[in-house]
Structures are given as structure tokens and as C-alpha cells.
Amino acid sequence: MGMTNEQKPFPQQTSQEEAGIHTDFKNRMTYGEYLKLDQILTAQERLSNHHDEMLFLIIHQVSELWMKLILHETYAAIASIKANDLLSSFKRLARVSKTQSQIIQAWDVLSTLTPTEYMEFREQLGQASGFQSYQYRLIEFALGHKTGAILKIYEKDKELHERLVEAYHAPSLYDVSIQALANAGLAVDQHVIERDFSKPYVANDSVREAWLTVYRHVDRYWNLYQLGEKLVDIEDWLQQWRFRHMKTVERIIGFKVGTGGSSGVNYLKSVLEQRFFPELWDLRTEI
């Protein structure tokens, strides 16, 4: 008897183009090798035997990969703005926003986890928590929200701690954007340009007036106007991500204390009040 369709090792070639499909990879790099799938797909080691822990692991691992891309693009955008190459920064920042939309949608998948299911393996997590995500902290630092106390969490890993300290003292995306305003001849207080970048940014009247000028004279400052809107996109998506995070946590554990020791939902609600680019939001009332 001949082989059934299910048994055939390779689909029948139906065109001349398909005749060129490579099948011999003894001495060539494969798709799996390029992506290191042997490492990625074996990284989901459950600490319990509960079926739904796999969902919990994958959602958080995928989110960390998306955050890696966000950092990659944000750092590139910062470098472009520093070099007065605003056009290149727009592509990077647009990609950040699209990536943020993917992370937001991940909460829809995690929300299929019920309270009963999560409690079956929650104790296995110990004190491990998304609160400790160092990439999330790097994103906050890159956007300008600097919290020195958080650095203590990462002292266990000297190399990682040094990376976070460096990011903590570096100018943020908003800092270099303010510098771009000054480079365009708009009046910005010098102490804002020369400030200590490890300190949280405080809204400044000269920066507000500079952005107002940009938004009132769009034709003259088109690139800065575009930059401002790209920043608003990013903060908007970030806050939507935070909101979905908060509601997903509330849906699954209610108002329990987080595994990392935070107040859980109450903490997540409080961070919704944080602002990254205040003048860009305030000017909407004044325009």
C-alpha cells in the first residue's frame, strides 16, 4: 500500500519554484538554530504540576522579549535625537508604540487564568514578582521616571546592578527631546538642560512655552511637533498597559498583597498617576 497524505514526508511539489526548497541542512544553519529554539522552548520549567502555570510562564517570558525590543528601539531613538536626526527617531518610536500594543494584548490571554487556578501554584513563586522586572525598570528610566530606592532589588547581580545605575543617571528620552527644543532655538531654562538626570523630572514653564510654540506653529516646527506626538503615543500606550495590568491582577487575586511584597492592586493604581511628559499633556488644555 502507498503512503497516506499524513504519512508523506514532504508535500508534493506543484510548481517549478517549489523545486528549489532546501531540504538538506547537514551543513547549513536551520531556522531553529538561528532562533536558538532549543533554548527558548525549553525555558518554560514549571515549579508545579498545574496545567495553567505554563500560561503564566509564557505570558511573562514573551512580555520580557517585547520589552527587550522596546528598550532596543528607545535607546536607538535617544541616540538619533541626540544626533539631531529626528526623522530616524520617528521610525524607532513608532515601533515602540506598536510593540506596546502587543504587550497590552497579552493581558487578555493572562486574564483567562481564574483565581482558583492561580492559587494552585502561586506559592511556588515565592517572592518572585513582575515588580522585580529589571527591563521594566530600564524602560521607566529611559522614559524619565527615576526611582533610586528600586535599585536595591538588583544588588544580587553586580553586572545588572551596574547597568541599572548607569541607566538611572543617563538622560531620558524626554531629556534629549527637551534638548532638541533648545537646539531649535526655543528658549529653555539652562538649569533644565544641565539638571541631574537621576532626579525625577519636574514640569517647567520654559519647556511648556517651548512646546506650546511648537504646537501653535506646526509648519515651522513640523519635526518637533511629530516628536511631541510620538512621545504622547508612548506614554498613552504605557498607561494603557499599566491599566490592563492592574485590572488583570484585580481579576485574578483581588486586593491580596503581591508576591513581591507590594500592595498589589493598590500599588498598580497609584502608578497610573505617574506622568512622564507632563507639558505635552498640559498643553492640550491651553491650545
Question: Going residue by residue through the chain (287 aa), what tens digit of pLDDT does each one get?
Answer: 455 555 555 555 556 667 778 888 888 999 999 999 999 999 999 999 999 999 999 999 999 999 999 999 999 999 999 999 999 999 999 999 999 999 999 999 999 999 999 999 998 988 888 888 999 999 999 999 998 999 999 999 999 999 999 999 999 999 999 999 999 999 999 999 999 999 999 999 999 999 999 999 999 999 999 999 999 999 999 999 999 999 998 998 888 876 777 777 888 888 898 999 999 999 999 98
Domain count, the chain: 1
- Give this prediction's pTM: 0.89
Which range of residues forms the domain containing residue 133? 51-285
Nearest partner of 122 among 219, 243, 264, judged by Cα: 264
Q: Which residues are annotated as a binding site?
A: 118, 122, 245, 259
Nearest partner of 175 among 209, 202, 147, judged by Cα: 202
Task: Establish if 31 belongs to a structural domain.
Answer: no
pLDDT score of 179: 98
How many residues belong to the chain?
A: 287
Instruction: Spell out the SS3 assignment of 169-186.
Output: HCCCHHHHHHHHHHHCCC
Burial 193-223 (b: 16+ CB within 10 A, else e): eebebeeebeebebbbbbbbbbbeeeeebee
Residues 6+ apart with CB under 8 A from 18: none
We report the CATH number of the domain holding residue 201 as 1.20.58.480
Task: Establish if 27 belongs to a structural domain.
Answer: no
Q: Which residues are annotated as a binding site for substrate?
A: 118, 122, 259
Q: Which residues are annotated as a binding site for heme?
A: 245
pLDDT score of 1: 46
Interatomic CA distance for residues 45 and 119, integer angstroms: 18
pLDDT score of 256: 80
Task: Establish if 32 belongs to a structural domain.
Answer: no
The answer to whether 249 and 264 have CB atoms below 8 angstroms apart is yes
Interatomic CA distance for residues 269 and 267, integer angstroms: 5
Task: Establish if 28 belongs to a structural domain.
Answer: no
Task: Establish if 17 belongs to a structural domain.
Answer: no
Task: Establish if 4 belongs to a structural domain.
Answer: no
Contacts of 128-134 with C-beta under 8 Å, sequence gap 24+, read 128/259, 128/260, 129/258, 129/259, 129/260, 129/261, 129/262, 130/60, 130/260, 131/258, 131/260, 131/261, 131/262, 131/267, 132/260, 133/64, 133/67, 134/160, 134/164
Nearest partner of 121 among 14, 45, 227, 66, judged by Cα: 45
Task: Establish if 245 belongs to a structural domain.
Answer: yes
pLDDT score of 7: 55
